[in-house]
């Protein structure tokens, strides 16, 4: 170890680093973990980095994470409320108490709260008022909190409608096709649909497009209740009198403040009129519990359900549509501009101050939000505490680190989107990566999604951190779980799978609007209280993470990932994986096109573009490793600059077809996929639409983006 490699450390930290890395080496050799140099670091710098990471990972503690979560979930804190503001102040003040800078950033955005509980009446031979609230659970004292909102949907329209009811399964286009086949039309009717298979905003949009005048959404016990396991408070699954709140914003159109698409919601920015916003539904939408749904669905007549429509309630489902079963749905919303509060903390970089590694988690919740999102907020505070300890001992990251606590994510990724739109120019120029953590913990099973260029880094980090219960590395536990899910004889891929980034969390504006490489991750498990009053501290303490060990593991993975990107001599972006993934996406598209007899697009141009991209990616990866070994700082700067810029080249300033806010040519949510990614988005949509002209045009745009990325790689010398 050379002293010049520790120039940013004080002598006490230098000594501590030596001691720590010796212990770390011994520990790693004992458990068989990888002791080779870290990707992105020279051999000597790896020794220093491993020592710093060991010191960081020793800081997060179960007791501290538990106390954060207890404080953050003491009250319901819907975005824009005084209780939400109190959580912002708590996060800011905690970060300041550690010695980090932290400030509140306000935006004025369009939000709705219920003026009164929704009036829902079942009309048969008589009128029966149905509940739109959740039941009290005696063992969970917070479920009695008078500030718990009635069940409602963010961005629903107000309305008072009475009509016959149609059960429309999951409420997706193919479900309406099946209804049409059995002679049932939803025009002028109220549809009841179950959660699952897509985002709730998609269900509202499809209902509206088919002429429905109202939409009721419930969680069927087949998907989210007793058919999955024991229900709360005996087990982790959704109890009978529990509903799922959530936004029905048309997130697939654009996220963020509905009145300022593409611009930050700040003074001086022109706002749309609410009726001009294209991401808001025009029909009333209401969530209910499945005991209430039973009251509506069980008396329905009409045809017996089509194949795939049967849920978990104990009777044969019919689709209804007849006049003898009606519902009155009266939704009355209070819409206005309301203040939301992000918390932004910054640790200045030492050598590359104008390169940013951004970590983000949202803080607002529909009720208490113990899992979603405040397990992530507790982890963020532990990351901040760990970073602060390193800073006190002399650590200065090579690049600047931001810790961001977003607000109003639940309504439509609003806090993150407004901040990203306000800082778009800086982010395009300076952002190295955005690292998201939404649900940090709902169980013990690690999972991740990422752009392919960061796959190797994500796997590397998880190889160096232990799973707190099994003693294996997190990677090994992750890989073992992945093997369990593969069919017998499937030997296609021995690696744990990293998913594609769709939408539904705060990486969306960074990746899909600005082209910042992004990741998302968390520990998952049986979680049936999503967006309910039972997503509480009690639930977490008894089912999600009783010892708060996985909160610590989340902080350790997240912080280590950030440190490696912030301190690396040669950034760990590997675009050979990206080229291979795009090739797989295109091969799948070709198979779909053949099945649907769609032709007319240029396969050869796409194949050639991918070949060139893969070749350049391989060349740059070799040069990057050589430059690290040679400590060639000039060459590394050129390579790093190019690697950061490549993701930006997948951005098309025109945006996707009919959705200009989304600009990434490889990754975006589909119109009907909800949270899930629809890779090669416009091309796949054209294939779904069986439109060969659009398929040809969209593929040309993708080829142009890949060529831009290849040209950028060629600049890395």
pLDDT in tens, 102-152: 999 999 999 999 999 999 999 999 999 999 999 999 999 999 999 999 999
Please tell me the predicted confidence (pLDDT) of residue 149: 97
Q: Compute the distance between CA of residue 366 and CA of residue 410 in angstroms, rounded to an integer.
A: 7
Is the CB of residue 212 less than 8 Å from the CB of residue 161? no
Predicted local distance difference test score (pLDDT) of residue 31: 38
Residue 236 is classified by DSSP as S
pLDDT at residue 267, rounded to an integer: 96
Angstrom distances, CA of residue 324 to CA of 163, 165, 294, 518, 587 = 10, 9, 16, 52, 51
Give me the residue spans of the domains in the chain.
3-56, 60-109+341-567, 116-331, 575-714
CA-wise closest residue to 386 among 7, 105, 65, 72: 65
Quote the pTM value. Answer: 0.94
What pLDDT, in 10s, does the model give residues 213-256? 999 999 999 999 999 999 999 999 999 999 999 999 999 999 99
pLDDT of the residue at 35: 66
Model confidence over 72-115: pLDDT tens digits? 999 999 999 999 999 999 999 999 999 999 999 999 999 999 99
| C-beta separation of 345 from 402 below 8 A | yes
Show Cβ contacts of residue 503 under 8 Å, excluding neighbours closer than 6 positions. 199, 251, 252, 255, 413, 512, 668, 669, 674, 675, 677
Write down the pLDDT at residue 330. 98
What is the pLDDT, as a whole number, of residue 632? Answer: 96
CATH code: domain 60-109+341-567 is 3.40.630.10
The mean per-residue pLDDT over the stretch 277-293 comes to: 98
Confidence of residue 490 (pLDDT cuts 50, 70, 90): low
Residue 28 has pLDDT above 90, yes or no: no
pLDDT at 27: 39
Annotated active-site positions, please? 409
At 370-406, the pLDDT tens digits run: 999 999 999 999 999 999 999 999 999 999 999 999 9
Please give the pLDDT value at position 15.
37
What Cα–Cα distance (Å) separates residue 32 from each residue in 26, 218, 229, 294, 624? 10, 49, 37, 55, 27
* pLDDT number for residue 487: 54
Is the domain spanning 116-331 CATH 3.50.30.30? The answer is yes
Residue in 604, 473, 560, 598 with CA at minimum distance from that of residue 27: 473
CATH value of 575-714 in 1.10.10.60, 1.25.40.10, 3.30.70.141, 1.20.930.40: 1.20.930.40
pLDDT for the residue numbered 482 = 86
CA angle 171-172-177, nearest 5°?
Answer: 100
**pLDDT at position 14 over 90:** no
In angstroms, the CA 224 to CA 239 distance is 9
Band the pLDDT of 675: cuts 50, 70, 90: confident
599-617 CB burial, b ≥16 within 10 A, e <16 = eebeeebbeebbebbbebb
- Does pLDDT of 572 surpass 70? yes
717 pLDDT band, cuts 50/70/90, is confident
The phi, psi pair for 338, rounded to 5°, reads -135, 150
Helix (H) or strand (E) holding 510: none
Give the H or E element holding residue 214. Answer: strand 214-218
Question: Residues of the chain with pLDDT > 70: what percent?
Answer: 94
pLDDT for residue 26 is more than 50: no
Task: Work out the average pLDDT over 552-572.
Answer: 98
């Amino acid at each position: 170890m050379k002293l010049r490699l520790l120039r940013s450390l004080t002598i006490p930290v230098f000594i501590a680093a030596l001691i720590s890395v010796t212990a770390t080496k011994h520990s790693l050799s004992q458990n068989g973990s990888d002791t080779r140099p870290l990707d992105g670091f020279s051999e000597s710098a790896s020794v220093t980095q491993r020592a710093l990471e060991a010191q960081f990972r020793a800081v997060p503690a179960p007791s501290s994470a538990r106390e954060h979560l207890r404080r953050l979930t003491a009250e319901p804190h819907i975005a824009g409320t005084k209780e939400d503001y109190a959580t912002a102040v708590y996060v800011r003040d905690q970060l300041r108490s550690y010695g980090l800078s932290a400030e509140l950033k306000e935006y004025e955005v369009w939000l709705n709260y219920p003026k009164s509980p929704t009036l829902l009446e079942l009309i048969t031979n008589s009128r029966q008022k149905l509940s739109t609230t959740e039941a009290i659970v005696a063992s969970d004292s917070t479920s009695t909190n008078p500030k718990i909102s009635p069940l409602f949907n963010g961005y629903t329209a107000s309305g008072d409608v009475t009509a016959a009811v149609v059960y429309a399964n999951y409420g997706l286009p193919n479900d309406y096709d099946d209804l049409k086949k059995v002679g049932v039309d939803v025009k002028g009717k109220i549809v009841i649909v179950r959660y699952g298979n897509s985002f709730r905003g998609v269900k509202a949009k499809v209902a509206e497009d088919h002429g429905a005048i109202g939409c009721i959404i419930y969680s069927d016990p087949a998907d989210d209740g007793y058919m999955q396991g024991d229900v709360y408070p005996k087990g982790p699954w959704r109890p009978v009198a529990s509903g799922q709140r959530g936004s029905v914003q048309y997130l697939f159109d654009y996220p963020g403040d509905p009145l300022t698409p593409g611009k930050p919601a700040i003074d001086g920015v022109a706002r749309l009129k609410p009726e001009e916003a294209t991401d808001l539904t025009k029909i009333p939408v209401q969530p209910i519990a499945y005991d209430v749904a039973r009251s509506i669905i069980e008396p329905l007549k009409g045809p017996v359900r089509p194949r795939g429509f049967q849920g978990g309630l104990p009777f044969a489902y019919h689709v209804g549509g007849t006049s003898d079963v009606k519902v009155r749905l009266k939704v009355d919303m209070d819409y206005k501009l309301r203040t939301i509060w992000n918390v932004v903390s910054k640790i200045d970089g030492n050598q590359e101050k104008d390169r940013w590694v951004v970590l983000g988690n949202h803080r607002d919740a529909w009720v208490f939000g113990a899992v979603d999102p405040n397990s992530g907020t507790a982890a963020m505070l532990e990351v901040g505490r760990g970073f602060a300890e390193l800073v006190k001992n002399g650590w200065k990251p090579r690049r600047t680190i931001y810790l961001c606590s977003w607000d109003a994510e639940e309504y439509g990724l609003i806090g993150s989107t407004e901040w990203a739109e306000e800082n778009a120019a800086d982010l395009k120029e300076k952002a190295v990566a955005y690292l998201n953590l939404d649900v940090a913990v709902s169980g013990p099973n690690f999972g991740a999604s990422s752009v392919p260029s960061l796959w190797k880094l994500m796997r590397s980090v998880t190889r160096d951190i232990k799973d707190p219960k099994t003693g294996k590395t997190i990677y090994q536990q992750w890989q073992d779980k992945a093997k369990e899910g593969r069919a017998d004889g499937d030997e296609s891929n021995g690696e744990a799978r990293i998913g594609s980034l769709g939408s539904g969390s705060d990486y969306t504006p960074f990746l899909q609007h600005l082209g910042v490489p992004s990741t998302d991750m968390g520990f998952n498990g049986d979680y049936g209280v999503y967006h309910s009053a039972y997503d509480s501290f009690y639930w977490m303490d008894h089912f999600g993470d009783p010892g708060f060990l996985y909160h610590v593991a989340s902080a350790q993975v997240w912080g280590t990932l950030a440190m490696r990107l912030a301190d690396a001599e040669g950034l760990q972006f590997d675009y050979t994986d990206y080229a291979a993934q795009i090739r797989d996406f295109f091969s799948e598209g070709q198979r779909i096109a053949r099945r649907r007899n769609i032709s007319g697009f240029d396969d050869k141009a796409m194949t050639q573009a991918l070949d060139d991209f893969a070749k350049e990616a391989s060349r740059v990866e070799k040069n990057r490793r050589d430059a690290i070994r040679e400590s060639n700082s000039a060459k590394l700067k050129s390579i790093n600059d190019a690697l950061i810029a490549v993701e930006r080249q997948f951005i098309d300033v025109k945006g996707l077809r009919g959705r200009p806010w989304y600009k990434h040519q490889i990754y975006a949510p589909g119109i009907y996929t909800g949270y899930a990614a629809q890779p090669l988005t416009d091309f796949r949509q054209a294939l779904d639409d069986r439109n060969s002209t659009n398929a040809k045009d969209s593929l040309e745009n993708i080829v142009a983006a890949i060529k831009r990325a290849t040209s950028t790689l060629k600049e890395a010398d």
